[in-house]
Amino acid sequence: MQTQKRIAVVGSGLVGSLLAIYLRKAGHIVHIYDRSPDIRQIQFSGRSINLAMSNRGWKALDNVNVGDAVREIAIPMDKRAIHLVDKLNFQNYGQEGECIYSISRGSLNRKMIDLAEAAGAEFFFEQKIWDVTLKEATLHIGETERGEWEEKKYDIVFGADGAFSRIRHRMQRQSMFNYSQEFLNIGYKELNIPANPDGSHKLDKNSFHIWPRGEYMLIALPNLDGSFTCTLFMPFEGENSFESLKDRKDVEAFFEKNFPDSIDVIPKLAEDFFENPTSTLVTMKCFPWTYKDKIALIGDACHAIVPFYGQGMNAGFEDISVLYEMIEKYGDDWVTIFSEYQKSRKPNADAIAELSYRNFLEMSSKTADDKFLLQKKIEKWFSDKHPEKWIPLYSRVTFSDRPYAEALAIGDYQNAIMEEVLKLENVEAIWNSEEVESKILDLLNKEATVQN
């Protein structure tokens, strides 16, 4: 057990709540602040994408025994259902039994706050933090940015306050703070597929549904109540864009032409489209993440990524796992805990940012490409035969807890090999032949020799 500290966590989102549970486990006094009302008492919706919990997330939850409580609100998805204009394809995510889990953000957040309260963390909602004094770990709280502020002093402050973190905002104004925020030209909008009258799902419940159309795409993830949360990703401007869909007629014509099989299942298409906001997508990177033994950023507050690998929450939860490892290793030495935490996490946060950025192309275009599907099929087949020699990139990211940075590097290396394999004559016919197998083995050996 560590020496007890008074710790403030700014942000009652998923990462803030789980962090509170870990800090309670380590014996600390934990106060969680949020500028918004208690999410358990309000309607939450209209601008969210369903979460896809995978291995890193479960590991962090199970380590404090809250995994099972979350499993109750999770729906396993073992495959992509790829809706082409004229047919439906399926692509398994991993080995038999390997799934990602669809969870609505609102449900999970409510559950996590309940669990953190049960663990003894105290929540303070509708408390707006405008600034933090880094050296003193002191929060400045008030109704408005220019009005009266109250000061709350702690031993340690965690900024779990998301991509537009106020805690980071203060750190950013220090010298030698590296920072970048880059918005995609693609926005997103939530739509809804309601349940059937009998409460069943209108589409296959255990699939991640995707309508890949190149520059834009539609996805749908299942909810417990039989509905699906859909998300349309599309450029803000240009030929097929949010800007180009000006009225009800435009939207309906666009969906009829491009997502014909969605028409019957999204009854309130135009209403949803014009009521729900169009949200932006940002990649944010920064360094350092910590200030002495006083302040640490965690989750989206220090590494906001685009959602195309489904790893945003999982990466934030893994931050907590690594932080806790450091707590167990370095005891009361918070300077070392924080510096080892950021040193361990920063390269992995950069790697998952890159992988997530690249994955838009995979989801929106490559899933509709026969060559890409063939590559995935060959990789899976070879991986089944030689599991010690080949873990596909998606599996390494999603079903393992190997570092993201390693996944990125090995993924690039595997891709170079597969490019050669796909050049083999008549590869479509002989994809599971001895010839292909020995070609891959050769290339792996050759590369290993070069590397040694």
Binders of a copy of itself among residues 127 to 156 (CB under 8 A) are 146
The CB-of-251 to a copy of itself minimum distance in angstroms stands at 23
Among 417, 424, 423, which residue's Cα sits nearest to residue 442?
417
Q: What are the tokens at 319?
A: 């931050």
Q: How far is CA 248 from the centre of its chain?
A: 32
The CB-of-244 to a copy of itself minimum distance in angstroms stands at 18
| Of 49-57, 176-184, 210-218, 430-438: span binding a copy of itself (CB under 8 A) | 176-184
* Closer Cβ to a copy of itself, 90 or 183, answer by number: 183
Near a copy of itself by CB under 8 A: residue from 41, 86, 176, 429: 176
The answer to the question of residue 357 lying near a copy of itself (CB under 8 A) is no
Report CA-CA distances (Å) from 401 to 239, 318, 381: 41, 9, 22
Near a copy of itself by CB under 8 A: residue from 43, 178, 451, 452: 178
| Of 41-49, 113-121, 170-178, 359-367: span binding a copy of itself (CB under 8 A) | 170-178
The answer to the question of residue 181 lying near a copy of itself (CB under 8 A) is yes
* Closer Cβ to a copy of itself, 148 or 198, answer by number: 148
Near a copy of itself by CB under 8 A: residue from 280, 432, 433, 438: 280
Amino acid at 31: H
* Closer Cβ to a copy of itself, 149 or 381, answer by number: 149
The answer to the question of residue 180 lying near a copy of itself (CB under 8 A) is yes
The answer to the question of residue 426 lying near a copy of itself (CB under 8 A) is no
Distance CA 260, CA 240 (A): 16
Show the beta-strand stretches assigned E in 94-245.
Answer: 100-103, 122-124, 129-133, 138-141, 150-153, 156-159, 178-183, 186-193, 207-212, 217-222, 228-235
* Closer Cβ to a copy of itself, 95 or 180, answer by number: 180
Near a copy of itself by CB under 8 A: residue from 175, 426, 449, 451: 175
Show the beta-strand stretches assigned E in 223-378.
Answer: 228-235, 282-287, 290-291, 295-297, 303-304
Number of H helices, E strands in the chain: 14, 21
The CB-of-446 to a copy of itself minimum distance in angstroms stands at 27
The CB-of-15 to a copy of itself minimum distance in angstroms stands at 22
- For the chain, how big is the Rg over CA atoms in Å? 23
Is there a contact between 422 and 374 (Cβ–Cβ < 8 Å)? yes
186 class by beta-carbon count within 10 Å (0-12 exposed, 13-18 middle, 19+ buried): buried
1 class by beta-carbon count within 10 Å (0-12 exposed, 13-18 middle, 19+ buried): exposed
* Closer Cβ to a copy of itself, 178 or 452, answer by number: 178
| Of 102-110, 120-128, 180-188, 267-275: span binding a copy of itself (CB under 8 A) | 180-188
Near a copy of itself by CB under 8 A: residue from 177, 330, 372, 413: 177
Helix, strand, coil share (%) of the chain residues, nearest 5 = 45, 20, 35
Which residues would be at the binding site for a copy of itself (CB under 8 A)?
146, 175-183, 280
